[in-house]
Amino acid sequence: MEPLLRLVNVKKSFGEVQAIEHVNLEIYRNSVIGLVGGNGAGKTTLLRLMSGVYRPTEGSVVLENNRPVAEMRSVLGVVPESTGLYSKLTAWENIRYHSRIHGIDDQLSWNRTFRFAQLLEIDASLHRYTEGFSRGMKQKTALLRALAHGPQILLLDEPTGGLDVTSARTVRRLVSKLKEEGGTIVYSTHHLAEAQQVCDRIIIVHNGFIQADGTPEELLKLTKTDTLEEAYVALTKEKARPRMEEAEKPSRISTFWRRLFTPSSSMEVREDE
């Protein structure tokens, strides 16, 4: 089976800082892959490489048939750590704007949005302005925005960060539903228990390297431990480095990405938390 997404000998540096080194990954269809690691491990850098926001210093990031991911970003759905919603627009207007950028018909976008909104229990709030939304509501809206154009791969950067227990469970339930329907999700988190609940494959990232890659059972067997927490500690004994991945001047693609998903003060919209 041909992988849906491949990272081949990928290295990413920011000045003299080596954020990611010698990464080789293959992502296959119908799977939930957890990227697990602490702050500064390289998870966000990996996600940005997968999404085409960052270009590798060395190596390549390609989709099926060796298509560079930077040229085929329409097949991706991305939920960044900061939702970047336009607070003066309703949830649906935020989603519709994003869908139109991808050339998706409003009715098709609405049908997809409403179905997933029901699963996230936010369907009654689609026509409310996001300015008054809670953190959980904003995160759910960002998820709907990422799904509205029917992506082949969904990239989630700490999707339950800062959410209450109920909202976090709802997000995890949606991820499980997407997998049941044949979806492919890359799920970044620093919560091992969460990764074990939703992911069928876990990739442990530490100090820019992939320390381990396998099912939870394989990681326990590899480290001869009884819990994922013990396995993680055994695999990440080296002291964690500080987070330094933002040291590089943003590229034009990265700047566009931030402008697209982060409202500016000149547009008189408020940045969400």
Query: Is a pLDDT exceeding 90 seen at residue 250?
Result: no
Any idea which of 8-12, 14-18, 269-273 has the lowest mean pLDDT? 269-273
Determine phi and psi for 24, rounding to 5 degrees: -125, 120
Give mean pLDDT, residues 22-37: 93
Dihedral of alpha carbons 40, 43, 45, 46, sign: positive
Residues 201-248: pLDDT tens digits? 999 999 889 999 999 999 999 999 998 889 989 998 876 655 555 544
Residue 125: pLDDT over 90: yes
- Give 57-70 pLDDT, tens digit per residue: 999 999 987 888 87
Q: How confident is the model at residue 162 (pLDDT cuts 50, 70, 90)?
A: confident
3-state secondary structure 148-187: CCCCCEEEEECCCCCCCHHHHHHHHHHHHHHHHCCCEEEE
Residue 222 CA neighbour count, 13 Å, CB half? 18
pLDDT for 131: 92
Kindly report, residue by residue over 50-98, the tens digit of the pLDDT: 988 899 999 999 998 788 887 777 889 999 888 889 999 999 999 999 9
- Give mean pLDDT, residues 247-267: 54
Cβ of 183: how many Cβ atoms within 10 Å?
21
Residue 206, phi then psi, degrees to nearest 5:
-150, 125
DSSP bridge pairs for 130: none
pLDDT of residue 266: 40
Q: For all residues of the chain together, what is the average pLDDT?
A: 85
**Looking up tokens 């759905």, which residue turns up?**
77
pLDDT of residue 60: 93
Domains along the chain with CATH numbers: 5-83+153-263 (3.40.50.300)
Q: Would the pLDDT of 269 be above 60?
A: no
